[in-house]
A and B are shown apart, each in its own frame.
Chain A
Amino acid sequence: MNNEAQFMELIGQHRGIILKLTGLYATDAEDLADMYQDILMQAWKAFPSYRGEAKFSTWLYRVCLNTLLSARRKKQLPVTGLDHHSESLSASAPANRSEEIQRLHTAIRTLSPTDRAIISLHLDGYDNGEIATLMGISNNNAGVKLHRIKNQLASMLKNL
């Protein structure tokens, strides 16, 4: 399998990471498309250096977060109400479940950009040590942040 085919296959298998993360940062459809393009481009350029030592999902997470967090935010995300991305989530889920998913998505989008990255890593099953390594912060700082974010999220979910 050539490099390009291998890349496309791996990205295809892990496109959920890109979809979920960009959904947390994009302000509109145009912004979303720009983010896809940027992440795909960065990942493609970096792919030759991927040696399979880390899981591809972890590698892609790093590329996504570095791309998204080093990007200028064109405008602030809406802080209340459901936006375009939340409305388009999991249309196939039952009504209540779908509402809960939308509430969670809206609540996470209300967090600061770095907090969004940390909570998404946590919810995707990364432990504090892995989060700390990926974000480049201390274990202790990751734990403190996570604790604060969870409390913030719980409080927001109550009020949404």
Chain B
Amino acid sequence: MNLEQLWHDIEGNDDGKLEGMLQQKFFLHSSHQRPLAKLKKNTVTSLWLGVAVTILYLALLGVTHEWLVRFALVVLIGYNSFILWSGYGLHKLLNANHGDALPVLSHLRQIAAAFARWRKWQNQVAFFVYPVAAAGGFLFGITLGAGLPLDEVLWRPGIVWWLLGSVLVMSALGYLLGRWWYKLAFGRYAAQIEETIRELEEG
């Protein structure tokens, strides 16, 4: 059996779907549905969500006068700005890469590395930011709930333990929520790419 000849004789029959697309040329202007496009879309969605949350923090910054809460909000706004900046860089990279310039392995490595880098940055910064966010949220909540200035509420018995407890719990929850969101939006896709890279690297 001559495999080359058999391969040469293979003529995919797609009931004219490809012909139809070429005739109508709709792909020239339409958005597509494949995973890389979904990934790009998810990156944009994350960016818009980040913008919305940052605006919310800015609004809260305007209504609260407690310096500890304001400090937490400024840290969070800084963190969000960093995520938005790095996310925009990732989005630009994905959009610039049309898969024609690089060999397959380099193309896959570039995408995987960009996501891994983004994820690593987020994790490293989040390690410091989540506790600040949790403390800020707790302090904002109790001043709002008690209707008293923070200086008065903070010295109530047991409040420091509640603060520490909520920082621990909320930081852990924030970390888990972040992991879940990344996995949902990007993780499975990134894992798939890494699996393909491994296949190529192995002999």
Residues of chain A whose beta carbon lies under 8 Å from any beta carbon of chain B:
4, 8, 11-12, 15-16, 18-20, 22-23, 29, 32-38, 40-46, 49-50, 59, 62-63, 65-67, 69-73, 85, 88-91, 93, 97, 100-101, 104-105, 112-115, 117, 120, 123-125, 133-137, 141, 144-145, 148, 153, 157
Contacts and interface: CB of A to CB of B under 8 A. Distances in A.
A123 B3 contact: yes
Given A19-B12, A89-B10, A136 B98 contact: no
Given A15-B18, A114-B196, A66 B27 contact: no
B6 interface: yes
B203 A145 contact: yes
B10 A34 contact: no
Interface in B1-56: 1, 3-4, 6-15, 17-19, 21-22, 25, 27-28, 30, 32-37
A33 B27 CA distance: 11
B98 A45 contact: yes
Contacts of B63: none
Contacts of B201: 137, 141
15 contacts: A15-B19, A19-B11, A20-B10, A37-B21, A37-B30, A41-B37, A42-B99, A46-B100, A62-B103, A66-B104, A70-B193, A112-B199, A114-B199, A136-B107, A136-B109
B146 interface: no
B17 to A, nearest CB: 5
B17 A32 contact: yes
Contacts of B34: 34-35, 37-38, 67, 71
A53 to B, nearest CB: 12
B98 A46 contact: yes
B10 A134 contact: no
A104 B6 contact: yes
Given A46-B98, A114-B199, A153-B3, A36 B13 contact: no
B113 to A, nearest CB: 13
A112 B107 CA distance: 18
Interface string B159-198: 0000000000000000000000000000011001100100
A135 B33 contact: no
Classify the interface of chain B: helix, strand, loop or mixed. helix
A33 B108 CA distance: 23
Given A33-B17, A137-B201, A38 B22 contact: no
A89 B14 CA distance: 9
A88 B6 contact: no
Interface in B92-136: 98-109, 111
Contact of A62 (B4, B35, B100, B108): B100
A101 to B, nearest CB: 5
Nearest to B38: A72
A72 B10 contact: no
A74 to B, nearest CB: 9
B1 A4 contact: no
Contacts of A117: 104
Contacts of B30: 37, 41
Contacts of B109: 136
